[in-house]
């Protein structure tokens, strides 16, 4: 299934050649997919979203894991990009920062229902193990999300999710100058977003609404199903090879045994 991925780029060897204009540093399940679609409508090209790593360039997951190792293995505690909010703000001080937000308790429930229940599902785990054994392009995807949601939330999302969420937003507010920061909820629509970015409001275009719980679940299981199809293809090729080898070997035996059976029947 590797051919289904548009690119296979190791971004660790790449260097940015265009300025970073916008950082959306709200956590997952706060409307980041809707904002991505809105930014594309406003003329921003190649807007990066967490799902991009899994569906467009799976090698990004390996890169993010390396970055997480450098951050957390060095005893620094702070998805994937949002967990590096501090580093991104420091690296791109001129970028405008959009902080997508929602009620913390609602967000906590949404992450558990739409993301973690599926990512930690036993079937996802089994398929992931096979992906690692067969060196699938997607073998780092699940590991990346698990590490992000484990380490960033102090090892227990159920217990620390809300408090870490609140700390994340306080940190961004403290680091970003007021004139460079937009606190935004998807219900706010086009007007505050376009005013902040200096863009005209798209005429007769409804504000995008994406990645609800059902869509998120479908996206995750589409990846799992894609991996299952890839593994099935490998299994069928192995089985076909074994059948061919057996047939070739059995053929030489039949050439000897068949005349003997025919003679007995006569």
**185 in any annotated domain:** yes
For residue 145, give Cα distances in angstroms to 50, 64, 72, 151, 239: 9, 10, 14, 10, 33
* Domain enclosing residue 87, as ranges: 2-241
- pTM of full prediction above 0.85: no
The answer to whether 164 and 83 have CB atoms below 8 angstroms apart is no
Segment 145-183, tens digit of pLDDT? 888 888 888 889 999 999 999 999 999 999 999 999 999
Give whole-number Cα distances, 94 to 1, 22, 26, 89, 97, in Å. 40, 9, 18, 9, 9
| Average pLDDT score over residue span 87-107 | 92
Q: Which residue has the higher pLDDT, 242 or 177?
A: 177
pLDDT in tens, 36-66: 999 999 999 878 787 666 677 777 877 878 7
pLDDT of residue 254: 56
Residue 109 lies in a domain: yes
Residue 49: its pLDDT value, please? Answer: 80
Return the CATH number at 65: 3.40.50.300
How high is the pLDDT of residue 184? 94
In the predicted model, what is the mean pLDDT of the chain? 81
Kindly give, in sequence order, each residue whose CB lies less than 8 Å from that of residue 130, ignoring residues fewer than 6 positions away: 136, 227, 231
In a domain, 9, yes or no: yes
Q: Considering the domain boundaries, does residue 250 fall inside one?
A: no
Q: Is residue 262 part of a domain?
A: no
- Say how far apart CA 30 and CA 194 lie, in whole Å: 19
Average pLDDT over residues 115-141: 79
C-alpha separations of 39 from 18, 33, 158, 202 in Å:
16, 10, 32, 11
Better-predicted residue by pLDDT, 155 or 196? 196
Residue 251, domain member (yes or no): no
Q: Is residue 253 part of a domain?
A: no
Instruction: Quote the number of domains for the chain.
Output: 1
Asked if 71 and 104 count as a contact pair (C-beta separation under 8 A), the reply is: no
Please report whether residue 264 resides in a domain: no
């Amino acid at each position: 299934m590797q051919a289904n991925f548009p690119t296979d780029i190791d971004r660790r060897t790449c260097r940015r050649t265009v300025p970073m204009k916008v950082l959306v540093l709200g956590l997952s399940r706060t409307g980041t997919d809707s904002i991505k679609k809105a930014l594309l409508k406003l003329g921003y090209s190649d807007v990066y979203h967490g799902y991009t790593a899994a569906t467009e360039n799976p090698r990004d997951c390996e890169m993010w894991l390396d970055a997480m190792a450098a951050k957390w293995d060095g005893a620094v505690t702070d998805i994937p990009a949002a967990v590096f909010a501090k580093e991104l703000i420091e690296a791109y001080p001129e970028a405008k920062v959009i902080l997508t937000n929602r009620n913390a308790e609602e967000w906590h429930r949404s992450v558990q229902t739409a993301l973690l229940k599926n990512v930690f599902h036993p079937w996802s785990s089994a398929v992931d193990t096979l992906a690692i054994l067969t060196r699938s392009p997607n073998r780092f995807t699940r590991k990346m999300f698990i590490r992000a949601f484990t380490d960033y939330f102090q090892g227990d999302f159920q217990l620390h999710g809300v408090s870490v969420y609140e700390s994340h937003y306080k940190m961004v507010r403290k680091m970003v100058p007021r004139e460079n920061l937009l606190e935004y909820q998807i219900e706010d629509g086009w007007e505050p977003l376009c005013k902040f970015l200096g863009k005209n409001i798209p005429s007769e275009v409804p504000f995008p609404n994406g990645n609800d719980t059902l869509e998120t679940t479908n996206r995750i299981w589409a990846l799992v199903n894609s991996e299952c199809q890839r593994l099935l293809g490998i299994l069928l090729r192995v089985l076909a090879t074994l059948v061919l080898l057996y047939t070739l070997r059995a053929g030489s035996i039949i050439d000897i045994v068949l005349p003997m059976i025919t003679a007995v029947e006569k």
